Amino acid sequence: MGVVKCVGILTSGGDAPGMNAAIRAVTRSAIYNGLAVKGIYRGYKGLIDNEIVEFKTQNVSNIIQQGGTILKTARSQEFMTPEGRQLAYDNMCNAGIDALVVIGGDGSLTGARIFAEEFDVPIIGLPGTIDNDLYGTDRTIGYDTALNTIMEAVDKIRDTATSHERLFFIEVMGRDAGFLALNGAIAVGAEAAIIPEIATEVDQLAELIQNGFRKSKNSSIVLVAESELTGGAMGLAERVKNEYPQYDVRVTILGHIQRGGSPTANDRILASRLGNAAIDALLEGQRNIMVGVQNDEIVNVPFVKAIKKDKPINRDLLNTLRILSI
């Protein structure tokens, strides 16, 4: 394809606070640089259904503070087929779009990589997921807001846990990544975090009990990452009931509350920087990359690395949590 003249923007997969800030930044940076902008509603599904609208600067006014995504998001089984992607490409060409910015997580960027390779389309990905699980970027859009939501919720749960002298398992999102659980546990002063990254190395529940938690405390909070590897909060509570019946256990699953809400300053700034950097990357001739941030510097990460490599947790944080939970 030739020189980029019109950029299409879509959000895909799970919504994340800060996606609107990213949409705003991409739109206004593109217009500033003389490019036309088209908003694509409902992700890849909207590309197939031709839900494409021209965006001007006023389309993104007063959205930076809103959670969710004004472009909506949807799953698309059809986009997983060659026929669906061909239809999406035809609609994109008919709309005059010659480059895409895709805001989403692992699945969204996987779709972007396949689409880019099949049709030689320049695509820039922005890491939009509360899970913080994309390799090559220190933070993803939405992670900080979700972490703050968890902190506020657990602070309230602790009041009840303390009043009733109970052990609370609180399940947080993250799919198969423990970033929210681990950093959330440190932020709320929890006794432990049970995460998938070390689930095959140690029986985290047995270790928690054997280390004598509650020796000097009248309540305990444990954050659990949702994952088959951890067993989830309900699975762990059942184990305690069967193996350690002396403990009074309660479960709270925070669920989709973690995805909503007005984005924090950190997420608004990150999304704005990455959105602007996406347009810079396109103008520089970059393609098939995710724009991320490392050590507070913008970086370009090939899709194949961002998607296929597992992002490691900082194991020093596990030790910090253990020390501070005595």
- Name the residues annotated as catalytic: 131
Q: How do strand 192-194 and strand 99-104 relate by DSSP bridges?
A: unpaired
Angle between helix 315-324 and 179-188 (nearest 10): 30
Query: Where would I find the beta strands (DSSP E) of the chain?
Result: 6-11, 36-40, 52-55, 99-104, 123-127, 167-172, 192-194, 220-225, 249-253, 289-294, 297-302
Nearest to 18 by CA among 63, 82, 50, 56: 63
> What are the b/e assignments for 39-60, b being 16+ CB within 10 Å?
bbbbbbbbbbbebbeebeeebb
The 8-class DSSP code of residue 60 comes to: G
Classify 161 in phi/psi space as left (phi over 0), alpha (psi -120 to 50) or beta: alpha
Would you list the DSSP string of 78-102? GGGSHHHHHHHHHHHHHTT--EEEE
Question: Are residues 141 and 19 in contact, defined by beta-carbon separation less than 8 angstroms?
Answer: yes
- Contact present, 19 and 11 (Cβ < 8 Å): yes
Distance between CA atoms of 15 and 13, rounded to whole angstroms? 6
Q: Whose CA is closest to 131, among 142, 123, 117, 122? A: 142
User: In 3-state terms, what secondary structure has residue 273?
Assistant: helix
AA letter at 109: L
